[in-house]
A and B are shown apart, each in its own frame.
Chain A
Amino acid sequence: MGPSVMTKKSVLKKFFKKEETVLMLFALPGLLGLLAFYVIPFLISFYFTLINNNVAKNFVGLHNFSELLSNEAFLLGLKNTAIFMAICVPVNMIFPLAVAMLLNKTVRMKSLFCLIFLLPLVIPSGSVAHFWKSIFGLNGVINGAFFAGAPVNWLDTQWCRSLITTIFIWKNAGYNIVLFLAGLQAIPKEYYEYAAVEGANALNKFFRITLVYIIPTTFLVFIMSVINSFKSFKEIYLICGAYPHQSIYMLQHYMNNQFSALNYQKLASAAYVLSIFIIALVFLFYRIQYKQAKNF
């Protein structure tokens, strides 16, 4: 056994001894999958944004983006997605936090309540769509019971935005409740006791202790809510179809329909605009969270 072999062996030993290396090796299959099926196709799709079509492949610069930004349907989708997020994300944070605080106070039936709130999350989207359609459809339970003479078209009027928001909250609140509950339970009870001794009222306790200590959880809940608000397209699509009422026509509708029409240029351009939108949003909140944590 020569000295060079010894050196190589010790290098490898050192290499594998590092904890990060081992963790990286475990993560490698997942990362490769992410690269192969998400990152690389996403980067390649940038090429499609720069050509006129898949046959002629003429370079058109940013023409597809400028066309996209002047497309009424795309702008409508962008506006609706922003409105939907602006409504759903805060509501889907405030409501679960309130419920989590309530559950945190009570000891009995905590698991049962958590389970009840989590149930909508495990119901398949197809069943969710069918369930809500059977309630709010033209032939649904609500119309049958209260509006038999003049049925209200809940799914094809301005009502549908409220309905879709309700479905979103119904489906996703449970997950956030569990996350908030875990965050709340991690706050030492002594802090509240000290605050009570110092004469702090409930509001002071909430803003000075609870909110401060659940910032990391809140950030996670925020990210998850943003992601879930984009994923809600599945339910909207199943309930209202590819061309829903104009108030719930989302960016994903636009992209999905472009895919059906085989227009990869518009699809890829929209995907990039959407990605920039999400990245900017997440980055903004990451900065806020970072600053908050630093101040704390």
Chain B
Amino acid sequence: MLKRIFQIILAIGLITVFLISSTGCGDKNEDAKKRTLTISVPADSSHTQLTLQAFKNKFPDVELVFNNYDLDYAKYNQQISTQLLGGGAPDLFMPTSDFSPKLFDSGLLADFYPLMQSDPDFNEDDYYMNVIKSGEYCGKLFWFPSYFGHRPIAVNNLFSKSLAERYKSFDAINLRQLLDLYNSLPDKGGRYLCDPTAAISDWYTFIDFANKTCDFNNDYFIKYITDQKNITDPKKEISDHISKGKDFFNQWDISDFSDSNLQERYALEYIFKVNSGDTSYLSLLLPYANERAFTHFIPLADDKGSLITGLGDSFCISAASANKDLAWEFIKLFTNPDKEEFIQTLPTFFHPIRRDLFKATTTRILENTIEEKRKVEAIDGETSQIVEGIMAFLERCNDMPMVSPIRMVEIDRIIEETLTDFLMDLLTAEQAASILQNKISLYLTE
């Protein structure tokens, strides 16, 4: 009886081994015939579809597997993580905001620099390399952006002409300088610096990711958050501020001045407007904007003078991918559309990472905006001259040193919780700084 059971188990084992080995051989034969590039994205776009088509045209022998998660970010993040660990990750995938940059240390992602260096067709001068390198981590580049954007700051033009003039003397401005400008006002007219959601957002300048250290528990930071607290309206609940700030972001498109009541209400409360990814900040640069509430776009910088940039539609390559060369080719096509249709699909609030595309798209956007505005009001000067001036300013900004803050969900949560308690008077500035120092240094040393 036992002998028979043993024989059956042995037979099942042999059959399994045979099946597994034969399946493996089949795969190898298939691989020899056709290569497969797997791409996963949390959301599809017409630009992605056009790139897929262009890739198919350029590499007809390569089979493309495209996984679109239809905005199901939770499922996307969970599956990509599991696939990365299991070795079955797609060759190419887009990182999301929940994507932990701690992955950089895990060796699961490919470095882009060797791919760029070994590609004779890749010319660094064609790209804003300062932007690309802003996403560098410990000398390696784990994501490659397609677009980038500045953090535009506008001044309340209706409040004080002299303040607006002083503000305009900056090429780029950091939050500390904004606070100093605000504090220097003898009469603030009951207005606050800017909405708190915008102000409380750039803590990454206090973290050194390369050396895994942070510096929150010092007098500078304590004064910094104390000033930040003082610029928020003490009569209002912090939750009111946050929901209000969000409402403004969602409802008020700064290029659309039709809702003048909303604009006036905002202008009555704030000296500056700090926008994160405002879709139409270019309008702030148009000549007619001088007469509006918020005008004179200046990009937000960190304490070292590097512009804080947001990277859009980035791609990562799995370190396990056997098709890194193909994945790189796809990224080059994605960032370098050579057809008119591609330009039409580019998001206007980001600048393309390629210099030539930036010129083509931004020039067209500005021309269209000015022509549209001319239909309803008079604008001094030739369109081409206005556009040329704005483009020169933007190109100067684009060539400045850039920093792309690495956003870590866990750090965001720690900062938000601690500073909310501080703003609600439950913690002193010293206590908040000490808590941040302890928790974030713990996070970094793990």
Binding site for B on A (CB under 8 A): 8, 12, 52-56, 71-74, 76, 138-139, 151, 153, 156, 241-243, 245-246, 249, 254, 257-258, 260-264
Contact = CB atoms under 8 A, between A and B. Distances in A.
A262 B100 contact: yes
B406 to A, nearest CB: 13
A260 B442 contact: no
Contacts of B108: 53-55, 262
A138 B100 contact: no
B129 interface: no
Contacts of B446: 71, 73-74, 254, 257-258, 261
B84 A262 contact: yes
A84 B102 CA distance: 29
Interface string B75-106: 00000010011110000000000001011011
Given A73-B446, A243-B442, A55 B100 contact: no
A52 B107 contact: yes
Interface stretch (B28-36, B339-347, B372-380, B431-439): B431-439
B445 interface: yes
B1 A12 contact: yes
Nearest to A151: B426
Interface of B: 1, 81, 84-87, 100, 102-103, 105-108, 318-320, 410, 413-414, 417, 421, 426-427, 431, 435, 438-440, 442-443, 445-446
Nearest to B421: A138
Contact of A54 (B87, B100, B435, B443): B87
Nearest to B417: A241
Contact of B431 (A12, A55, A153, A258): A153
Mostly, the B contact residues are helix
Contacts of B86: 54
Output the residue of A12, A257, A264 with the most chain B CB within 10 A.
A257
B319 A242 contact: no
A72 B438 contact: no
A245 B100 CA distance: 22
A262 B106 contact: yes
Nearest to A265: B106
A89 B102 CA distance: 35
Given A242-B410, A261-B100, A262-B100, A55 B442 contact: no
Contacts of B410: 242-243, 260
A117 B384 CA distance: 82
A138 B102 contact: no
A55 B107 contact: yes
Contacts of B107: 52-56
B178 to A, nearest CB: 29
Contacts of B1: 8, 12
A53 B109 CA distance: 11
7 contacts: A12-B1, A54-B106, A73-B442, A156-B435, A242-B410, A261-B105, A262-B103
